[in-house]
Structure 1
Amino acid sequence: MSTTVRKAGLAFAAAALALTGAVYGMTRPASAEVTAQLTASQLVADMGAGWNLGNQLEANANGIPSETAWGNPVITQALINRVKASGFKTIRIPVSYLGNIGAGPGYTVNSAWLNRIAEVVNYAYNQGLYVVVNMHGDGYKSVNGSWLICDAADQTTVKDKYQKVWQQVATKFQSYNDHLVLESMNEEFDGQYGNPTSPCYSNINAYNQIFVDTVRKTGGNNAARWLLIPGWNTNIEYTTGNYGFVLPTDRNRSSSIPSNEQRLMISVHYYDPWDFAGQEDGNITQWGSAAKNPAKKSTWGQEDYMDTTMKKVYDTFVTRGYPVFVGEYGSIDKTTYDSSNNTYRANYAKALVSTAKKYGAATAYWDNGYNGQHGFGLFDRSSLTVTQQGIITAIINAVGSSTPTTPPTTTPTSKPPTSPPTTPPTSAPTSNPGGAGACRVSSTISAWNTGLTSSITITNTGTAAINGWTLTFTLPTGQTIVAGWSATYAPASGAVTATNAGYNGTLAAGGSTTIGYQANHTGNAGAPTGFKLNGTTCS
């Protein structure tokens, strides 16, 4: 599942709120100062520790962007000052346009919305921070009003609209210096998990090329600024591996850039292992070599996997002069289940930032503004206070406390061992699943116009462990599953069978796991019914 949807937390639950009347003030003039152009390694070092202003300018109500629609307060200069004072040097600002784009052929972006984007950018930019601005929610099928869809039938219209919107945004920021980085899109894919499909990947590559050409042609400092490019779903494996990613050509860049230097960066995200980083249950709450309880630690995705994965971006891109930006990483708060969880969240953040630094990548922690159970928040955006000083300290120390090691500069002569996939593998139940015992199921639905997200918690209330499970249930008429996580689902409608993933197939007596899916609906957003676990009816 795309991280924007799964990490949103309060997002879809609040998406139906009425549009809040945020006031879009006039922007301060952007600095036209031109700074010395930085090389790839200089840029990564100078960007330092990064932080995401998540669930704000990409939030929407009924397809209209609104920074307060998902429960966060209006963004202020004081918030950005607090983030800067905590040691962060880069702020990534996700932005959605959606219903603020007018009709074709001009596709004019609402001027008040563009001004508000620039105003928030200036909160950070005028403080000397790096700012990364991306197009965020316009490419999610689950978002009302989305249009940047790689398997849409009319790609001519999609590409024309994409070009027109970026032309306006790039023109708005053409005088800003190198402290502004533009990012073409976010976690763009067809919504189906598994290997990328060729037609969609070809369109993603085309979007990236349109983005680079459009920004460069607006002139000014855009002709030389660093541009950030993602691959399929901003996924490391699908961007570095042989799955179809093609770097755009940079044929319109300024002649002032030395021919042996790049001005394109590679965007990736890191949330592995998901059962620790984002799965909303209490099963996996510890991470890394310092974990004290093996039962609370994932069977994959530890320090060695992190190193192997980050080395892939080094071997594929950094060695060729393209810096890498881990634009999102982080882990949710599970202290409700394990009081020591924040220690492992800090260890995870420190390891990711250190490993990224080792392999020539900058980083930005994903903060969705939500604190407490299952939240990613580091700050309380209302009180302007720090809520997770331990994680912040770990990040800042990892960026600044050591000199990067020098990774290998030659390609291994033999093929390295195949590492685990970024998404944990799924497996069918064992031939002797250990019986069904007794079970309890609870489900919650967060719905919007034609879509919904369903979260299902399965609890083994029997006296023996269940080794391998299938959960059957019936979807209401008119619902179709479009994406799922923590299980495999088939078929997509009617009577559905969810089969355990490889990491949650064992349910100890009294143990539980949470799975979920997104679905489209035609007016009936009701909950599934008739739950049976390995054939036994659940209460």
Structure 2
Amino acid sequence: MSSRVRKAGLALLAATLTFAGTVYGVTRSASADVVAQQNASQLVADMGAGWNLGNTLEANNNGIPSETAWGNPVVTQALIDRVRASGFKTIRIPVSYLGHIGAGPNYTINAAWLNRIQEVVDYAHSRGLYVLINMHGDGYKTVTGSWLICDAADQATIKDKYQKVWRQVATRFQSYNDRLIFESMNENFDGQYGNPTQPCYSNINAYNQIFVDTVRRTGGNNASRWLLVPGWNTNIDHTVGSGFVLPTDHNRSSAIPANEQRIMISVHYYDPWDFAGQEDGTITQWGAGTTNPAKRSVWGQEDFLDGQMKKMYDTFVTRGYPVFVGEYGSIDKTTYDSASNRYRADYARAVVATAKKYGAATAYWDNGWNGQHGFGLFNRNSATVTQQGIINAIMSAVGGSQPTTPPTTPPTTPPPTTTPPTTPPPTSPGGTGACRVSSAVNAWNTGLTNSITITNTGTAAINGWALAFTLAAGQTIVSGWSASYAPTSGTVTATNASYNGTLPPGGSATIGYQASHNGNAAAPTAFRLNGTPCN
């Protein structure tokens, strides 16, 4: 999770908090019990519903990790037991190392910190839960002391340090059974939202390869352990394409059948951001059950979610690589809309059910904060449930009747406001006529979404259309829906999808896109439909 969301609701706890005074130590020996080897579909089914112990072992004060640095209490066995009793079978534990790593050439991890990591892992692992640990904040440019930076100059030193840190972590846990999974890193990218850059992506691919090779070579159960790797910023579109390279796994145990994988793919899902994470009261509802369309985002609804998960299925699951949606969720906006938690539950249910449909496991992002803009499901001080409705939604989705794999050819779901014709219209533009276009831009920091409605105001049908428009300077389209877009900046042409190419007189179609910007979030201009200027 990006740092701005990780700290959602915790702004008042700022940097004045002091380093936790807890003395860490080893509490028990590593579990060495044997778990039968599982293929991809068995693993995903057994992982069930997952939960993140967020804002804790990845929290830090001025680059020194401390589990209480961002306002959460010290983790207890009682909390983990409550999470387990609520139905969760997997716990993801984000971890930062940062200032707890010593100087080169050995880069020794502070013993007390590594002991505490093991202790928290044991809270969950000893209860039969799946546990995932990663290298979380070491790759964020916004974090003091970060060093796993993909566009930094001295990559040789970074890669050496990365290899030696992971070797220590993997060695510490080499006897743990397959319910422990390692994740190479978290949301690593160059800090600029938009299309990936080279050689930054090449370095991310290299980190993943170093991670796999290093863990395997430590031996023990690490030779067959499931390993989790992300693409660019755990972004779905930039993981199914844009330069992601699967690491090779030549050093794994020979006992693993040659046609089985032991590598998982990590992505995160917070779309649409204006509902899931944007800290205002504009968009507070989501999904088909929305009662106030003005409070629902113009994009990112059920059909978009289905399409994104299908991309991961088509690219990875069909090849034996399970997918893990390691973070998803939405913030509390009941301050603005008393019904907001209902839609948060609908959103969680849909993400989990759709991921399951396409062969993926999930883990809800919980930052420990309850109240306005928080992601919390539990009160960590009292180890009690605070959002039973969202938990119920997650459990109903993961344990429902949805198939664990989709049909051979999953149906394409058009937007709910559009009925596809029996015979799809031609996809090449054909026909002209008077047209009207409306545009609704919703902007934040360095990004925006735009919904465009095209209306045929002429007297003849338009069968197949291409809408040209000019983006404001500095804007680049990152993703789009209900049309194809090319190029991604300057003068762009949006070409109809198969289901919305026919516009009868008075008919309309709504399309949209997400774009990055450098401060200019102005709406596009100079709309032309099949060459005809639009009002």
TM-score under structure 1 length normalisation: 0.77
Taking a change above 3 Å as real, the CA distance of residues 405 and 43 of structure 1, as seen in their structure-2 partners, is: closer
Taking a change above 3 Å as real, the CA distance of residues 288 and 403 of structure 1, as seen in their structure-2 partners, is: closer
**Conserved in 2, the CA contact under 8 Å of 1:7 and 1:278?**
no
Measure the CA separation in 1 of the matches of 2:349 and 2:170. Answer: 34
Specify the alignment match of 2:75 in structure 1.
75
Question: Cα deviation per residue 1:93-135 (whole Å; 9 max; x = unaligned)?
Answer: 0000000000000000001000000000000000000000011
Specify the alignment match of 2:347 in structure 1.
348
Q: Secondary structure at the match of 2:231?
A: strand
**Conserved in 2, the CA contact under 8 Å of 1:426 and 1:501?**
no
Deviation at 1:33, TM superposition (A): 1.5
**Conserved in 2, the CA contact under 8 Å of 1:132 and 1:182?**
yes
Deviation at 1:12, TM superposition (A): 5.9
Specify the alignment match of 1:108 in structure 2.
108
Specify the alignment match of 2:282 in structure 1.
283
Taking a change above 3 Å as real, the CA distance of residues 62 and 256 of structure 1, as seen in their structure-2 partners, is: same
Deviation at 1:499, TM superposition (A): 2.6
Question: Cα deviation per residue 1:387-427 (whole Å; 9 max; x = unaligned)?
Answer: 00000000011001214164244699x9xx9xxxxx97556
Q: Secondary structure at the match of 1:314?
A: helix
Q: Secondary structure at the match of 2:159?
A: helix
Written as runs of structure 1 = structure 2, the 5 A alignment for 1:292-371 is 292-371=291-370
Deviation at 1:383, TM superposition (A): 1.3
Taking a change above 3 Å as real, the CA distance of residues 501 and 84 of structure 1, as seen in their structure-2 partners, is: farther
Answering whether residue 521 of structure 2 is matched by residue 499 of structure 1, we say yes
**Conserved in 1, the CA contact under 8 Å of 2:136 and 2:186?**
yes
Specify the alignment match of 1:134 in structure 2.
134
Written as runs of structure 1 = structure 2, the 5 A alignment for 1:81-120 is 81-120=81-120
Measure the CA separation in 1 of the matches of 2:517 and 2:357. Answer: 39
**Conserved in 2, the CA contact under 8 Å of 1:65 and 1:96?**
yes
Specify the alignment match of 2:162 in structure 1.
162
Measure the CA separation in 1 of the matches of 2:53 and 2:520. Answer: 35
Specify the alignment match of 2:186 in structure 1.
186
Measure the CA separation in 1 of the matches of 2:186 and 2:141. Answer: 13
**Conserved in 2, the CA contact under 8 Å of 1:15 and 1:62?**
no
Answering whether residue 260 of structure 2 is matched by residue 261 of structure 1, we say yes
Taking a change above 3 Å as real, the CA distance of residues 176 and 61 of structure 1, as seen in their structure-2 partners, is: same
Measure the CA separation in 1 of the matches of 2:54 and 2:523. Answer: 29
Specify the alignment match of 2:151 in structure 1.
151
% identical equivalent positions: 75
Specify the alignment match of 2:244 in structure 1.
245
Written as runs of structure 1 = structure 2, the 5 A alignment for 1:327-476 is 327-404=326-403, 406-409=405-408, 425-426=448-449
Q: How many residues align?
A: 431
Measure the CA separation in 1 of the matches of 2:165 and 2:205. Answer: 17
Deviation at 1:20, TM superposition (A): 2.0
Measure the CA separation in 2 of the matches of 1:215 and 1:401. Answer: 36
Taking a change above 3 Å as real, the CA distance of residues 13 and 159 of structure 1, as seen in their structure-2 partners, is: farther
Deviation at 1:34, TM superposition (A): 2.0
Specify the alignment match of 1:124 in structure 2.
124
Measure the CA separation in 1 of the matches of 2:404 and 2:191. Answer: 37
Measure the CA separation in 2 of the matches of 1:170 and 1:225. Answer: 10
Question: Cα deviation per residue 1:135-180 (whole Å; 9 max; x = unaligned)?
Answer: 1000000000000000000000000000000000000100000100
Q: Secondary structure at the match of 1:233?
A: helix
Q: Secondary structure at the match of 2:157?
A: helix
Measure the CA separation in 2 of the matches of 1:49 and 1:500. Answer: 41
**Conserved in 2, the CA contact under 8 Å of 1:326 and 1:363?**
yes
Measure the CA separation in 2 of the matches of 1:24 and 1:487. Answer: 45
Measure the CA separation in 1 of the matches of 2:406 and 2:517. Answer: 41
**Conserved in 1, the CA contact under 8 Å of 2:447 and 2:516?**
no
Q: Secondary structure at the match of 1:92?
A: strand
Measure the CA separation in 1 of the matches of 2:61 and 2:516. Answer: 30
Taking a change above 3 Å as real, the CA distance of residues 407 and 428 of structure 1, as seen in their structure-2 partners, is: closer
Measure the CA separation in 2 of the matches of 1:74 and 1:62. Answer: 19
Deviation at 1:30, TM superposition (A): 1.1
Q: What letter corresponds to residue 275 of structure 1 in structure 2? A: D
Specify the alignment match of 2:487 in structure 1.
none
Q: Secondary structure at the match of 2:521?
A: strand
Q: Secondary structure at the match of 1:198?
A: coil
Larger Rg belongs to: 2
Specify the alignment match of 2:228 in structure 1.
228
**Conserved in 2, the CA contact under 8 Å of 1:275 and 1:298?**
yes
Q: Secondary structure at the match of 2:208?
A: helix
Specify the alignment match of 1:59 in structure 2.
59
Taking a change above 3 Å as real, the CA distance of residues 275 and 427 of structure 1, as seen in their structure-2 partners, is: closer
**Conserved in 2, the CA contact under 8 Å of 1:58 and 1:65?**
yes
Taking a change above 3 Å as real, the CA distance of residues 390 and 426 of structure 1, as seen in their structure-2 partners, is: closer
**Conserved in 1, the CA contact under 8 Å of 2:45 and 2:404?**
no
Written as runs of structure 1 = structure 2, the 5 A alignment for 1:12-51 is 14-16=13-15, 17-51=17-51
Q: Secondary structure at the match of 1:499?
A: coil
**Conserved in 2, the CA contact under 8 Å of 1:11 and 1:55?**
no
Q: What letter corresponds to residue 240 of structure 1 in structure 2? A: V
Deviation at 1:198, TM superposition (A): 1.6
**Conserved in 2, the CA contact under 8 Å of 1:426 and 1:500?**
no
**Conserved in 2, the CA contact under 8 Å of 1:109 and 1:168?**
yes
Measure the CA separation in 1 of the matches of 2:523 and 2:7. Answer: 22
Measure the CA separation in 1 of the matches of 2:393 and 2:517. Answer: 38
Q: Secondary structure at the match of 2:156?
A: helix
- Structure 2, unmatched stretches of 5+, are 412-423, 428-445, 453-513, 525-535
Answering whether residue 232 of structure 2 is matched by residue 210 of structure 1, we say no
**Conserved in 1, the CA contact under 8 Å of 2:175 and 2:220?**
yes
Taking a change above 3 Å as real, the CA distance of residues 28 and 15 of structure 1, as seen in their structure-2 partners, is: farther
Measure the CA separation in 2 of the matches of 1:230 and 1:272. Answer: 18
Deviation at 1:35, TM superposition (A): 1.4
- Structure 1, unmatched stretches of 5+, are 418-422, 430-485, 491-496, 503-539
Q: What letter corresponds to residue 209 of structure 2 in structure 1? A: Q
Q: What letter corresponds to residue 258 of structure 1 in structure 2? A: P
Deviation at 1:8, TM superposition (A): 2.2
**Conserved in 1, the CA contact under 8 Å of 2:353 and 2:402?**
no
Measure the CA separation in 1 of the matches of 2:401 and 2:407. Answer: 18
